A and B are shown apart, each in its own frame.
Chain A
């Protein structure tokens, strides 16, 4: 079975801190994705990557950056956390474009 793991289930940070959210998948998937989930808004795509060192902006990239140095790992970075980035963050991976995505358990981030 595909396994997507995220480094933390819950995280509390202060405004202005630099925040790293880590995601690792163990099935050699090419594509990896970061979404945020907010009540009433569903899931929205922040960034995705289709290869090592490649990244593409999603629908809401402002305030975020990403890093993919190894195929199995995709990091989401909040350069200077703000309270409006309090959310649930979900990582996903897929074999190739158009195929199903496998999701991690999510990280609930609170920015105070």
Chain B
């Protein structure tokens, strides 16, 4: 069965500092990978996705993520965080087989921005 691990429950970063959120996945075949963000009281918004091709993917709001098959990782990065980036971040995986499968989510990382 597929699984996603986000090792950090909470991360605190100073405004303007760089950010890296970790995500490790377990999946037997080629996965599709996603990062979603959830602001308080809101639904999930897609930040970026990896299906194939270039392993460094760019997303919205200045985020990027790198797929590393050898490490089964898909870490999210941002060079300089803004106070508005404070939110919950979820990594997710689904199989690329084309079936209508639900996403498997990590438990999330809560990002706190210090002024």
Binary contact track A76-93/B, C-beta < 8 Å → 1, others 0? 000000000000001010
Provide the bound-state CA to CA distance between A19 and B92, in Å: 29
Interface contact B49-A97, CB-CB below 8 Å: no
| A42-B90, A90-B44 as given contacts; A101 in contact with B97, CB under 8 Å | no
Interface contact A98-B94, CB-CB below 8 Å: yes
Interface residues of B in 59-86 (CB under 8 A from A): none
Provide the bound-state CA to CA distance between A101 and B105, in Å: 12
Binary contact track B97-115/A, C-beta < 8 Å → 1, others 0? 1111111111110000000
Kindly state whether residue A74 has any CB partner on chain B within 8 Å: no
Question: Looking at the complex, which one of A4, A43, A97, A103 makes contact with B101 (CB distance below 8 Å)?
Answer: A97
Interface contact A48-B107, CB-CB below 8 Å: no
Number of interface residues of B (CB under 8 A): 28
Provide the bound-state CA to CA distance between A90 and B32, in Å: 21
Q: For residue A44, which residues in chain B have a CB less than 8 angstroms away from its CB?
A: 105
Provide the bound-state CA to CA distance between A97 and B108, in Å: 23
Interface residues of A in 91-112 (CB under 8 A from B): 92, 94, 96-106
Kindly state whether residue B34 has any CB partner on chain A within 8 Å: yes
Interface contact A56-B34, CB-CB below 8 Å: no
Closest to B99 in A: A97
Interface contact B103-A45, CB-CB below 8 Å: yes
Q: What is the CB-to-nearest-CB distance from A7 to chain B, in angstroms, rounded to a whole number?
A: 14
A-B contacts, 26 of them at CB < 8 A, read A4-B43, A30-B100, A31-B100, A33-B102, A40-B9, A40-B107, A42-B106, A43-B44, A43-B90, A43-B105, A49-B100, A50-B99, A56-B100, A90-B43, A94-B100, A96-B98, A97-B99, A97-B100, A98-B97, A98-B99, A99-B32, A100-B34, A100-B46, A101-B103, A103-B45, A105-B43
Q: Which 7 A-B pairs have the closest CB atoms?
A: A50-B100, A45-B102, A42-B107, A103-B43, A97-B100, A103-B44, A43-B105
